[in-house]
Amino acid sequence: MNAHRHEAEGNGAVVTPRLLGPAEIRDLAQLLDVTPTKKLGQNFVHDANTVRRIVQTAGVERGETVLEIGPGLGSLTLGLLEAGASVIAVEIDRRLAEQLPHTVRIMQPGTELHVVHDDALRVTELPGEPVRLVANLPYNVSVPVLLHLLVHFPSLRSGIVMVQAEVGHRLAAEPGSKIYGAPSVKAAWYGRWRIAGQVSRMVFWPVPNVDSVLVGFERADVPGTEAERIATFAIIDAAFQQRRKMLRQALSGVLGGSSAAATSVLARAGIAPESRGEQLTMDDFLRIARAAR
């Protein structure tokens, strides 16, 4: 890479920047002949202030292992390394995965990076035990990627992810709100979620046609066994597939095959059969799964 060199203030010395700006993003994309694809959600951040804000919001600590999904050209990776983290980065695009160690060697030599060239939806082993997830997620798969990582990597205790605003608000939604849905309840299985900031679409190349937010999570102890989670998630899916219907109808397929059978399971769980999925907490859904056993 032809890393852009900037003249340091006053003394005429040249320094290689530690983070990627518009010039470096343009150079790297040219070098790799990368045309960002929508299919892989490739929108690259070219603003160092945004990167530093994400790293700071995530509370990254020196020496800890951070998992990044979709490092792309390395914008956020370099921010995490600058903060002293050891980074494991999972990238599906081979050209980007191969280039990243070179970029890091030039811009931040001596830092610790492991690149895994794989699909984040399939990865089940990592070269280390990350405690924190920090990522600008590919938007079309952000929820399935998050749920996959939370199932397979219990070492992840907290995280900050950048996602499409609508998805972020859904993840952090409380029961009773219009946007509360299956992702909100499933996410709540793993801990507490919050909106941690807005991100302007102007910091990306190419500029996306949606707004973005930062979503934070803190993991809590899971409330049930893995078998209970699977049963609970199936009930959540059924409840929100027909979210306007009363639960005794929406859940008839998964609770005994009839509305009468569903009513009796719901009664055992202490849930009104006339209620709707959007009113229930994750604990309510778990109680239904347990009553159905």
* Residue numbers belonging to the annotated binding site for S-adenosyl-L-methionine: 43, 45, 70, 91, 119, 136
Q: What are phi and psi of 197, to 5 degrees?
A: 150, 165
**79 interacts with ligand SAM by CB under 6 A:** no
**136 interacts with ligand SAM by CB under 6 A:** yes
Residue 24's contacts (CB-CB under 8 Å, 6 or more residues apart) are: 1, 3, 4, 17, 46, 73
- Pairwise CA distance, residues 91 & 129, whole Å: 17
**Helices 282-291/182-190 angle, 10° precision:** 90
**252 interacts with ligand SAM by CB under 6 A:** no
Annotated binding site, which residues?
A: 43, 45, 70, 91, 119, 136
Identity of the residue, 165 or 222, whose beta carbon is nearer to ligand SAM in the bound complex:
165
Identity of the residue, 125 or 221, whose beta carbon is nearer to ligand SAM in the bound complex:
125
Smallest gap from Cβ 5 to ligand SAM, in A, equals 22
Residue 134's contacts (CB-CB under 8 Å, 6 or more residues apart) are: 54, 55, 58, 60, 66, 67, 68, 76, 80, 159, 160, 161
Smallest gap from Cβ 53 to ligand SAM, in A, equals 12
**161 interacts with ligand SAM by CB under 6 A:** no
Identity of the residue, 36 or 223, whose beta carbon is nearer to ligand SAM in the bound complex:
36
Q: Which of residues 265-284 bind ligand SAM (CB under 6 A)?
A: none
**183 interacts with ligand SAM by CB under 6 A:** no
Residue 283 Cα distances to 104, 254, 275, angstroms: 44, 18, 15
Paired tokens of 205 = 């190349």
H or E segment at 248?
helix 247-250
Closest alpha carbon to 83 in 123, 108, 55? 55
Identity of the residue, 73 or 254, whose beta carbon is nearer to ligand SAM in the bound complex:
73
**35-74 mask for ligand SAM (x: CB under 6 A)?**
-----xxxxxx-----------------------xxxx--
Instruction: Among 24, 47, 82, 93, indicate the residue that binds ligand SAM (CB under 6 A).
Output: 93
H or E segment at 198?
strand 191-199
Q: Which residues bind ligand SAM (CB under 6 A)?
A: 40-45, 69-72, 75-76, 90-93, 96, 119-121, 136, 138, 141
